């Protein structure tokens, strides 16, 4: 009986230790599968604007949406939450923040206005250069409306002549707003003059784009970006 009790006790202790180890392991695995700052994350995504698909990592969805590009490789997108110094971000910060806490296999649909997505198209982001100088320094033979990478910057050839080239550094998904300017004093009678604030203006939604001492610039009936993402893989930082 004493031998039996001794064996029983040792087995119970062993099982107890194994149980604790399993709980700790499960906890660690759970933490590893949750997205945090600095993690490398692989996602499948579909991006649409006002209900129209403009980009996706899925070739079949691209074909159905008539946006399929034969020169592109369709595959899940890899991003680093928080980005890397000196590298262009591949996802808006608002999207990266929304991924925090998600796990492999989870899906999310995120809706954003332009300021939180890819911003507004601005004429000051178009740079005019001497064509010969540009070709010499970049090694690129520009073609109109084509998008290129130069260092860590992406641009589209906005205009082209024999002598000059205009480089558009606006994001390719930036939008042209429907601008309305109102007096700030009048605006603040009913809403806060804060960039990004969503307000009602003449029966429509509007987003505050810019605020000066005297004026508030609105984007009337702003575009809505919809990001549908699925987490494929997480690599902890």
Rg (CA), the chain: 26
Q: Is residue 206 classed exposed, middle or buried when 0-12, 13-18 and 19+ CB atoms within 10 A define those classes?
A: buried
Q: Within this chain, do residues 231 and 114 fall inside the same structural domain, yes or no?
A: yes
Q: Within this chain, do residues 56 and 114 fall inside the same structural domain, yes or no?
A: yes
- Asked if the structure places residue 109 within a domain, the reply is yes
pLDDT at position 160, please? Answer: 96
| Residue ranges, the chain, pLDDT below 70 | 1-32, 84-89
Q: Within this chain, do residues 209 and 161 fall inside the same structural domain, yes or no?
A: no
Residue 170: CB atoms within 10 Å: 21
For 155-167, write each residue's pLDDT tens digit. Answer: 999 999 999 999 9
- Asked if the structure places residue 3 within a domain, the reply is no
CATH number of the domain to which 106 belongs:
3.10.50.40
Q: How far is residue 155 from each of residues 56, 80, 125, 170, measured CA to CA in Å?
A: 20, 22, 10, 7
Q: Within this chain, do residues 195 and 132 fall inside the same structural domain, yes or no?
A: no
pLDDT at position 41, please? Answer: 96
Q: Within this chain, do residues 164 and 206 fall inside the same structural domain, yes or no?
A: no
- Asked if the structure places residue 1 within a domain, the reply is no
Query: Domain tally for the chain?
Result: 3
Q: Within this chain, do residues 52 and 97 fall inside the same structural domain, yes or no?
A: yes
- Asked if the structure places residue 13 within a domain, the reply is no
Secondary structure of residue 83 in the 3-state scheme: coil
- Judge whether 176 and 206 are in contact, CB under 8 Å: no
pLDDT at position 110, please? Answer: 97
Residues contacting residue 232 through CB under 8 Å, at least 6 positions apart: 42, 43, 44, 76, 104
- For 233, how many CA atoms within 13 A lie in the half-sphere containing its CB? 9
- Asked if the structure places residue 2 within a domain, the reply is no
CATH number of the domain to which 191 belongs:
2.40.10.330
pLDDT at position 90, please? Answer: 78
pLDDT at position 186, please? Answer: 95
Residue 230: CB atoms within 10 Å: 18
Q: Within this chain, do residues 80 and 132 fall inside the same structural domain, yes or no?
A: no
pLDDT at position 12, please? Answer: 47
Which range marks the domain in which residue 134 is found?
A: 123-168
- Asked if the structure places residue 210 within a domain, the reply is yes
Q: Within this chain, do residues 153 and 132 fall inside the same structural domain, yes or no?
A: yes
């Amino acid at each position: 009986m004493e031998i039996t009790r001794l064996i029983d006790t040792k087995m119970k202790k062993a099982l107890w230790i194994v149980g604790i180890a399993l709980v700790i392991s499960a906890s660690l695995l759970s933490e590893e599968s949750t997205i945090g700052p600095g993690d490398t994350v692989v996602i499948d995504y579909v991006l649409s604007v006002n209900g129209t698909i403009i980009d996706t990592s899925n070739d079949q969805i691209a074909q159905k949406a008539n946006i399929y590009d034969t020169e592109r490789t369709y595959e899940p997108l890899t991003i680093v939450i928080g980005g890397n110094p000196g590298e262009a971000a591949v996802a808006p910060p608002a999207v990266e923040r929304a991924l925090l806490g998600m796990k492999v296999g989870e899906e999310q649909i995120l809706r954003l206005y332009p300021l939180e997505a890819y911003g507004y198209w601005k004429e000051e982001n178009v740079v005019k250069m001497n064509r010969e100088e540009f070709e010499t320094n970049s090694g690129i033979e520009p073609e109109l409306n084509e998008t290129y990478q130069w260092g860590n910057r992406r641009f589209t050839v906005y205009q082209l002549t024999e002598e000059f080239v205009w480089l558009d550094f606006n994001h390719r998904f930036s939008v042209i707003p429907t601008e309305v300017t109102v007096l700030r004093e009048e605006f603040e009678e009913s809403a806060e003059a804060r960039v990004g604030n969503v307000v009602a203006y003449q029966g429509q939604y509007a987003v505050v784009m810019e605020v000066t001492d005297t004026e508030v610039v609105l984007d009337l009936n702003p575009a809505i970006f919809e990001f549908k993402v699925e987490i494929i893989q997480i690599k902890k930082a």
